[in-house]
Amino acid sequence: MEHRDLALRVINVYKSFGDHLVLNGVSLEAYRGEVVAIVGPNGAGKTTLLRIIAGLENPDRGSIVLHGKALLVFQENLLLPWKRIRDNIALGLLYAGLPREEINRRINEASQLLGITRYLDKYPWQVSGGTARKAAIARILVLDPDILLLDEPLAGLDIETRRALLERIKMIAHERNKTIIVVDHSIEAVAEHADRMYILSHPPARIEAHIDLRETSPEKRLPLIYKALSSLKL
């Protein structure tokens, strides 16, 4: 295998809420410059896993090894409707006390990467759902995470908007050497753009399959994934 820089390792993680076991010894890895998809049934603990990686929840057992900063983009956009897109993206930078020149530079760079520059002076209620989702991602991207965690980024978006967003996400990972982990229900959409995929079982969740998609042609990706899913009876 070629040399790759490890960005994240999840080691045998367990998590319960009360008597309900959600994660049942989950282990996975992610490397620099790749998009990793995590898919599975509803209630399989995908969001919980992201929150643990981001440090927002503690595992009951197991450990998380991070090589860099991991930040989570929540499923809800959480944009302030009374602030322009530009000012929403700037919120974390203003809180950090960065100079205005640096704030503007980061906003411009992130908005160009995500293709939303022309919307910066509009309000959230004046833009499409896809643009609002990109703005929410930009608000975290400007904080320069090494690992970007996306929770259901495709929810509520139409097919073409999903594809456009995933193309931007893949470009950011590959060209900016970011590790991007995508949790989503749309297996067909993420399969086209992910470098690797982990499939979670029904809860209590464990890793049922790990599929390397990097050397798989686009037309063979879905059959490969569906073959794995059919054998797992998910």
With residue 150 as reference, give the H or E element that holds it: strand 147-151
Is 91 a residue whose pLDDT tops 80?
Answer: yes
How far is the C-alpha of 116 from the C-alpha of 123, rounded, in Å? Answer: 12
Read off the pLDDT of residues 103-139 as tens digits, 9 standing for 90 and up: 999 999 999 999 999 999 999 999 999 999 999 999 9
Q: How is the chain split among helix, strand and coil, in percent rounded to 5? A: 40, 25, 35
Residues 64-88 have a mean pLDDT of 96
Residues 186-214 have a mean pLDDT of 90
Unique residue bearing structure tokens 């978006």: 157
CA 22 distance to own-chain centroid = 20
With residue 139 as reference, give the H or E element that holds it: helix 129-141
**Coil, strand or helix at 179:** strand
For residue 204, whether the previous peptide bond is cis, meaning omega lies within 30 degrees of 0, is yes
pLDDT band for 44, please (50, 70, 90 cuts): confident
How far is the C-alpha of 130 from the C-alpha of 147, rounded, in Å? Answer: 22
Which of 36-50, 110-124, 129-143, 214-228 has the weakest average pLDDT? 214-228
Residues 36-42 have a mean pLDDT of 90
How far is the C-alpha of 194 from the C-alpha of 13, rounded, in Å? Answer: 23
Q: What is the reported pLDDT for 234?
A: 52
> What are the structural domains of the chain?
1-69+146-234 (3.40.50.300), 79-144 (no CATH)
How far is the C-alpha of 174 from the C-alpha of 219, rounded, in Å? Answer: 21
Residues 93-110 have a mean pLDDT of 95
How far is the C-alpha of 217 from the C-alpha of 48, rounded, in Å? Answer: 32
Q: What's the pTM?
A: 0.92
What end-to-end distance do the CA atoms of the chain give, in Å? 30
**Cα–Cα distances in angstroms (integers) from residue 137 to residues 18, 115, 144, 203, in the given order:** 32, 12, 11, 29
